Amino acid sequence: MKKLISSFIRYIQTEKGYSAHTIRNYESDLRQFSKFVSTKRGIKKGDPEIDLVDYMLIRSYLGDLFDKCRRTTIARKLSAIKSFFRYLELRGLAPLNPAAEITSPKQERRIPSYLPIDDMFALLEQPDREKELGLRDLAILELLYSSGLRVNELVTLDIERLDLNSRLVRVSGKGGKERILPVGRKAIDSLREYIEHTEKKRKKAGYSTRNGPFFLNYRGGRLSARSVNRLVKRYSKECGIIMEISPHSIRHTFATHLLDGGADLRSIQELLGHVSLSTTQKYTHVSIDKLMEVYDKSHPRS
């Protein structure tokens, strides 16, 4: 199984163009499943053969996960197994896909965490504009809120993909799919100021103001997603936000505020880069407070 898993990982990396995050998760999931197969089939040493896996073994594996993982995690692990065996079947390396008829667990409807407008504006006030890192952090927060980027889209952003004059940014999303997004004027001002203050650092690192990573760490290299996550949490604590937030919370905030402002779901779907409208529809639940506010003001018997 180990060789076949390695072959599958190379396939989704080079031919399918999956994101680094998905590849890392799939590889971890399949290695975990391989260990389960060894344990269940009594293989103490060596590598289990692929023909030891059948429908009932996969069901047993999923059942074992139910007390340990959330349903979303179980669904992802099943997706990895299904994709793996589909690949083997197409390559003639397995006679059939034992996971083909197994359905994913029903998902809980989770309302995304988001910030009220006042809290979001307070968060944007936290970075110290007198310092280079403060200018960088402000530009990050402004761009996340202005355009609803995923954190991976933000940290992989190169400088040439942002047109400050046209107020547009081109990002590479899940599966390498590109989309062009508008950028707000406040965000443009912060991005332009950050670029101007990092000109010397970029030259020293071998970049210019026209190429290379947009957001830099203190050494001049590309900023990591983990660093962005840390700075969001730090600033949220500094301004007294009680709830636990992440860069993805700002993406949810972006979508929720657009919906509250009158944007239609189809437009928000395009901006977020969602393949399915059903993914975007969760924001209708988030905005129930806005709906109630309109109802209370408008209905004669409210």
Taking alpha carbons only, the member of 39, 91, 97 closest to residue 64 is: 39
Does residue 197 have an active-site annotation?
no
Does residue 40 have an active-site annotation?
no
The answer to whether 190 and 198 have CB atoms below 8 angstroms apart is no
Does residue 150 have an active-site annotation?
yes
Catalytic option among 77, 202, 257, 274: 274
Catalytic option among 77, 136, 202, 251: 251
Catalytic option among 150, 202, 252, 257: 150
Does residue 283 have an active-site annotation?
yes
Catalytic option among 71, 86, 222, 248: 248
Does residue 251 have an active-site annotation?
yes
Q: Which two tokens mark 35?
A: 């260990």
DSSP the chain: -HHHHHHHHHHHHHTS---HHHHHHHHHHHHHHHHHHHHHTT--SS---GGG--HHHHHHHHHHHTTTS-HHHHHHHHHHHHHHHHHHHHTTSSSS-TTTTPPPPPPP-PPPP---HHHHHHHHT-S-TTSHHHHHHHHHHHHHHHH---HHHHHT-BGGGEETTTTEEEEE-GGG-EEEEE--HHHHHHHHHHHHHTHHHHHHTT-BTTBSBSSB-TTSSBPPHHHHHHHHHHHHHHTT--S---HHHHHHHHHHHHHHTT--HHHHHHHHT-SSHHHHTHHHHHTHHHHHHHHHHH-TT-
Catalytic option among 174, 192, 197, 282: 174
Does residue 11 have an active-site annotation?
no
Residues annotated as catalytic (active site), given as ranges: 150, 174, 248, 251, 274, 283
